Every structure is written in structure tokens, then in C-alpha cells.
Amino acid sequence: MSTNADPVTFGEDDYPKEECGVIGISTSGDDAARMAFFGLYALQHRGQEAAGIAVADGRSVRLEKGQGLVNQVFSAGKLDHLVGGMAIGHNRYSTTGANSERNVQPYVVETMHGPLGVAHNGNLVNTDQLRQKLLTRGAGLQSSSDSEVIALMLAAAEGETWEERLAATMPHWEGAFSLVVIAGTKVVACRDPWGFRPLSMGKLPSGGHVVASETGALQTLGCEAIREIEPGEIVVLQGALVRSHQAVPAKEEQARCTFEHIYFSRPDAVWDGLSVHQARQRLGEELAREHPVEADVVIPVPDSSMPAAIGYAAVSGITYNEGFVKNRYIGRTFIEPTDELRRQGVKLKFNMLEENIRGKRVIVIDDSIVRGTTSGPLVRMVRDAGATEVHVRITCPPIAHPCFFGVDMGTYEQLIAHQLGVPEIAAHIGADSLGFLSVDRMMKALGRDDGYCNACFTGSYPVPVQLSLLNTKQRFDGVLG
């Protein structure tokens, strides 16, 4: 499926954009594609611009992919020819200018060892060097994605098996990658040694196995014995059989993405042994302790801030209630709005429950402020609903640095916290007060002292970032997997 219209996002410009979601399935039957379809549905929040599924039957790899949501790409009949017991799938979010058909995953390439399919979640920081090496060797690159670089490097790697080729290639990749590969009679998965992006595995009741970016997708498919794939680990799924080994040593300093707990993952996910819902509730509790304020009601910006608002209300003793009503079906659309509708901005996505707001001092809980483009309109909506005061509380520290590991947050010049201090941001969005959770309190809420990447808050990157990337004045053009 393709469209001439670019997707239009309503009211989400001020939030980080997730990089992607991946799934890999190995069963004893021939319905892996349909299982991948439902798994991608459970991962839809991780990427809404494109989706794809590749299926293997031991002889060939069949592929169906396109731009759009999962149910748009896989309309009636599109799965009928995807017959086989092994499948990989991908949901994509790309940066501006890179949402093109050629960048949609999975990638399927012909190799001397047979067809190979690859789906990738993350971002490599040494893509430029790797691309140049491939071009020097005569490789024909068709896209602007680092995921294609990964696929072509694997295709040319030495080794007797795909897991050996993967193990030989992983040390050359710097940055974030959770990867699923399909070839022959196997699905092979791996995770980078820093552990940036989540990847978990579960056992199907039928005896097969599934790997996915979030545990919620595994639960949707009825998986049991769910565990996290370890950083640097390779897992091979072959029918009912599964084997794994530590391909490269895990880095001493791990770098799990804190934003998985703050915003990206579904609340039913479990990662690093933590319930995401409970982690978000504790973030709200710590926020109440660090930034108390006298008020009458606590309201969340749906949906990821709801557990945090519950936590804030519990510690502060201030009543929790709903204030925003979210239209969950207008977040992304391929229909261009009129100029008049576009000017409505976040009002297209949120309505107010005025009876819960009118005449009250309101605390608004949100998970982040990135560019500062959405928070102001939200504050105005609360005031227009009759609030006498509006106090904004954010469940993470100020985002003052770009992410180079697979999350689109913008560049330095686009990040409001890089340009302004907290009082200036409060004035910019029109809030009576503004409070961000500190790094120390955030990590206390997670119950961790280390093991996480907080570079977007601190500027301390766990992997050296090229100076050219730090100084770029343009967004990445399609390097996100």
C-alpha cells in the first residue's frame, strides 16, 4: 500500500517519537504470518508510518509491506500468500523526509546462502563509515536506512550458519540494535551489548517461540516462560526448538533507554524486571515529593501519564480526576485536514471535561516536553475550561540533548530545554508553575542506580557520538530502524 499524502500528526509534535517495533515467530504450523500480524497490532504504538511481514517456508522468503498502519497495510487477502512456519514483522516510525516506500522493513535480500530477511529496531551511530565501506566494495544500497546496511553486511559475512555470520558482524555495529532475522528454516534474534532497546522471548502453547520488542505482544499471542533477551545474546528459533548463546560480551555499563518506562512501552510491558505501569506510578510519586504545590485536582495528559498522575495524587493527597478526553483514532491519518482544522491543533485530539476543571487549581501531569509546541495549547485548554491556576509537572528531567540511538527528539536547536531554563519554559507554555523530575529521583523511582541511558537529559552518551552528528542542523534522514 502507498499514498501520495504524508501522514499528519495531531498534537504529538511535542513528544519523542519511538523508533520501531519488531517481532519474530517460529512455529510448527504454517500460520506464522497471521500471528505476526496480531503481534504487530500489539506493537502499533511503537511505529505508525509503515509495517511489513516476511515469511519463510524453508525454501523461499515472501514479503508484504507498505506505508500505513498495520490494518491498512494488511487489508483483506494480503496475508493469504504469506504461508510458512517462520515470520518476522516490523512497525516503523521514521524521521521527516525518510518515510518512503524504499525504507519500509523488513528488508529481504538474495545472498549466496539463500534469501535473507532483516527487521531492525534501533539506530547505529557509525552508519556513515559502514555505508562507505559497503559502497567501496560495490554494494548497491537502495535506501537511506541503517537497517539495509545491517542486512547487506550480514549477507557478506563469513560463517557456516546465520548465527555465526551474525556473531561475526555484531562487533562492527556501534549503537542500538534489537534485530530479528529470517532465513532458511530459522528465525535468529539478537540484542546489542549495551541493551538500549528492549527484546523479549516467550514460548507458544503450541511449542513454538516468539521474540518481540515488548512483552505485551508475547502475551497477546499466549506466550509463556517470557524472559528478556540479554544484551549481546543471540537466540535461534527453529520450530519448537530454541537455543541461545552469548555472542559478544555485554558492556560493563549498560544503557537501557529510560524513555521505555517514561513513555514508549505499553503499561502492561515488563522490562528489566520492572512493570512499566508500576514504574510510571512511582515516577508520579517521586514527582509529588520533589515538586509539591497546593491545588484541588490532579489530571493526566492521556495516556502514558495516567499512572504517574495516580501516583502523584496518592502522595500529595490531592484528588485525581480526568480532565482531557482523548480521541484515540485521530492520532495519525493519511487524510489532509483543511487549514481551518489544522489551526485547531491539539483540540482535534483532546476535549476537556470542564466540570472537573472549572474554578479549580489544576495540576497537569505529562511525561515530557520536547519542543514546547504542544504544552502551551494544552495549558490554554485547561484555562479555557475554567481553571484558576495551572501547574505543570513532568515525569522526567528536561530534555536538553538529542538522541542518537533510535529516538526522534529533534536537534539541539529544536529542544526547548536546550534554549531556555525552567522558569522561561513555564512562561513560554503559560503555566503558573513547572516542575521536572530530577535524574536522581527518576532513577530512585526505577529502583536503579545505573544501567540506563540518560543522555537526552545529561548529554553523557554511553557510546561515543561523532562530532558531525552532534553538530548537525538537520534531522536524521532515515537512519532510524
d(CA 10, CA 24): 31
Question: Please, what is the angle between helix 276-290 and helix 306-316, to 10°?
Answer: 40
| pTM for this model (two decimals) | 0.90
Residues 367 and 421 in one domain: yes
d(CA 131, CA 147): 11
Count of domains for the chain: 2
Residues 276 and 223 in one domain: no
Provide the 3-class DSSP secondary structure of residue 452. strand
Q: What is the pLDDT of residue 331?
A: 56
Residues 58 and 167 in one domain: yes
Contact 212/179 with Cβ under 8 angstroms?
Answer: no
Residue 101 main-chain phi, psi, to 5 deg: -60, -35
Residues 201 and 338 in one domain: no
Q: What is the pLDDT of residue 128?
A: 87
Provide CB contacts within 8 A for 352, sequence distance 6+: 323, 324, 325, 381, 382, 384, 385
In a domain, 471, yes or no: no
Q: Cell for 111?
A: 545472498
190 catalytically annotated: no
Domain housing 192:
8-255
d(CA 337, CA 343): 10
Q: Whose CA is closest to 431, among 373, 350, 376?
A: 376
Q: Produce one character per residue of 385-411: b if its CB has 16 or more CB atoms within 10 Å, e if not.
A: bebebbbbbbbbbbbbbbbbbbbbbbb
Q: What is the mean pLDDT of each run of 10 residues along the chain (481 residues)?
A: 35 61 94 96 92 92 93 90 95 61 88 94 91 81 78 93 96 96 95 97 94 97 97 95 96 96 95 97 98 98 95 98 86 57 75 97 96 93 98 98 87 94 98 98 97 96 73 38 42
Residues 315 and 219 in one domain: no
Q: What is the DSSP string of 3-62?
A: -SSPPEESS-TTS-B--EEEEEEE-SSSBHHHHHHHHHHHTGGG--SEEEEEEE-SS-EE
- End-to-end Cα, the chain, rounded Å: 20
Q: Cell for 87?
A: 515470520
Residues 197 and 138 in one domain: yes
In a domain, 84, yes or no: yes
Amino acid in the structure at residue 65: K
In a domain, 469, yes or no: no
